[in-house]
Amino acid sequence: MIKVLSLLTRKPHLTHEEFVRHWRDIHGPLALAVPGIRRYVQSHIEGTRTRADVPETEVDVDGIAELWYDDEASLRASAATPEAKALYADGALFIGRIKTYVIAEQIVIPPG
């Protein structure tokens, strides 16, 4: 299993609420049609917290997207589909900036 994590920042003309509404109500359903995506989670930023002993990173983020695929080949194949191209075209309408990481999860506390 491979995971892709993206930090998303809204386009400047959108409020955070408008960004979340489009992401959840329009973009999310488009992702359902993309073959090869095993799991998709949208994390909508509701606030931040800081620690006194560690300085805060200066990053403006409106949401975090997490997508899981069977493997790297599945990710590439999925990204080449017409459904994924439609998803990316929609993302360009409301996402102002994005930083995407391909990551390996190390589970410390398992679910359940």
List the beta bridge partners of residue 54.
51
Reduced to 3 states (helix: H, G, I; strand: E, B; else coil), residue 13 is coil
Q: What confidence score (pLDDT) does residue 106 get? A: 87
- Note the pLDDT tens digit of each residue in 34-60: 999 999 999 999 988 888 899 888 888
Residue 36 in tokens: 């090869």
pLDDT band at 68 (very low <50, low <70, confident <90, very high): very high
> What is the share, in percent, of the chain residues with pLDDT greater than 70?
100
- Note the pLDDT tens digit of each residue in 70-91: 999 999 999 999 999 999 999 9
d(CA 80, CA 45): 29
Q: What confidence score (pLDDT) does residue 34 get? A: 98
CB atoms within 10 A of CB 76: 11
Averaged pLDDT score across all residues of the chain: 95
Contact 69, 7 (CB under 8 A): no
Domain annotation for the chain: domains and CATH numbers: 2-48+60-103 (3.30.70.100)
